[in-house]
């Protein structure tokens, strides 16, 4: 056997063993958990992949705000919208009884803010009113679907806005993604295949500033690790079921390389703390895999 072939087999065997070890650790985290959990990992520079339940169509909840923001920025790239254009905020678009730091900041002020501020509230603070303002600017969810489809991203569907999801628990399941789809679009986004460089850099900075879900993907990573991420959560219904506890992200390693991670916890009867801890523990194990 030639040396090159021997070393290829040796590396392949080592990679398989490491992947198997990661799978064992993730399976241990999920053992006996009453939930459907999808996990996908994609190494950007080395092409490493790991998938578990990666083709299951699971509800995204606020993870879809990444896709919506990307669609808005595409419209900006095309000159149809502008980051500095003014958006009027009033009682008609600052709804009560929904998560909205934007409303808390501007309620009763009849303010006008730049579109950039609405994007930042929507992504980094997961603002539900901001999300629906962006969707109205785009003409609805169909525009988002068409744009994401045009980028060759499969396993993604968006039909309803935040207001719709608050009215009917079941419609969240019509806004779905697979975890494999999530890491695919993150890689395409990172590679500049979704938006212009200017818009890619802008959205990356917004994702880095995400302040929600500190007990999930970033909880057990080293302090100040750059993580461009988007969270999503449904809360529990009256029956105690969590529809979605999710996070997607691009993680930068100490050596300057990157990987994407997507973890979707769906239809869980575990506590919120347990759901978030599953994401946190999986994130830690993936980090340790890439840092061996």
Positions marked catalytic: 62, 162
Cβ pair 221, 3 in contact under 8 A:
no
Residue 35's alpha-carbon distances to 40, 184, 232, 270, in angstroms, are 16, 24, 16, 7
- Write the DSSP symbol of residue 32: T
* Separation between Cα atoms, residue 192 and residue 44, nearest integer Å: 13
Distances (CA, A) of 142 to 134, 190, 289: 13, 24, 39
Dihedral sign from CA coordinates of 114, 119, 125, 126: positive
The residues near 221 (Cβ < 8 Å, ≥ 6 apart) are 227, 251, 283, 284, 287
Decide: residue 260, CB within 10 A, 0-12 exposed, 13-18 middle, 19+ buried: buried
Query: 285: which residues sit within 8 A by CB, 6+ positions away?
Result: 22, 25, 26, 29
Neighbours of 168 (CB within 10 A): 10
């Amino acid at each position: 056997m030639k040396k090159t072939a021997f070393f290829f087999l040796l590396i392949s065997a080592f990679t398989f063993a490491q992947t198997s070890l990661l799978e064992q650790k993730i399976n241990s985290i999920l053992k006996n958990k009453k939930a459907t959990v999808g996990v996908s990992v994609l190494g950007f520079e080395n092409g490493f992949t790991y998938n578990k339940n990666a083709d299951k169509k699971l509800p995204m909840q606020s993870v879809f705000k990444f896709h919506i923001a990307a669609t808005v920025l595409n419209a900006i790239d095309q000159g149809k919208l502008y980051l500095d254009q003014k958006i009027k905020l009033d009682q008609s678009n600052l709804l009560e009884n929904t998560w909205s730091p934007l409303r808390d900041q501007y309620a009763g002020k009849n303010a006008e803010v730049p579109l950039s501020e609405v994007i930042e509230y929507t992504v980094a603070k997961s603002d539900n009113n901001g999300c629906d303002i962006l969707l109205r600017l785009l003409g609805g969810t169909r525009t988002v679907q068409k744009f994401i489809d045009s980028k060759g991203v499969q396993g993604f569907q968006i039909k309803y806005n935040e207001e719709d999801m608050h009215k009917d628990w079941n419609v969240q399941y019509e806004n779905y993604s697979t975890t494999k789809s999530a890491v695919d679009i993150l890689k395409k986004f990172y590679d500049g295949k979704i938006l212009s460089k200017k818009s890619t850099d802008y959205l990356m900075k917004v994702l880095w500033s995400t302040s929600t879900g500190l007990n999930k993907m970033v909880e057990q990573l080293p302090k100040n690790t750059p993580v461009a991420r988007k969270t999503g959560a449904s809360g529990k219904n009256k029956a105690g079921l969590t529809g979605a506890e999710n996070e997607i992200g691009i993680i930068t390693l100490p050596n300057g390389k990157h990987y994407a991670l997507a973890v979707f916890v769906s239809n869980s009867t575990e506590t919120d703390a347990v759901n978030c801890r599953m994401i946190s523990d999986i994130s830690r194990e993936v980090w340790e895999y890439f840092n061996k």
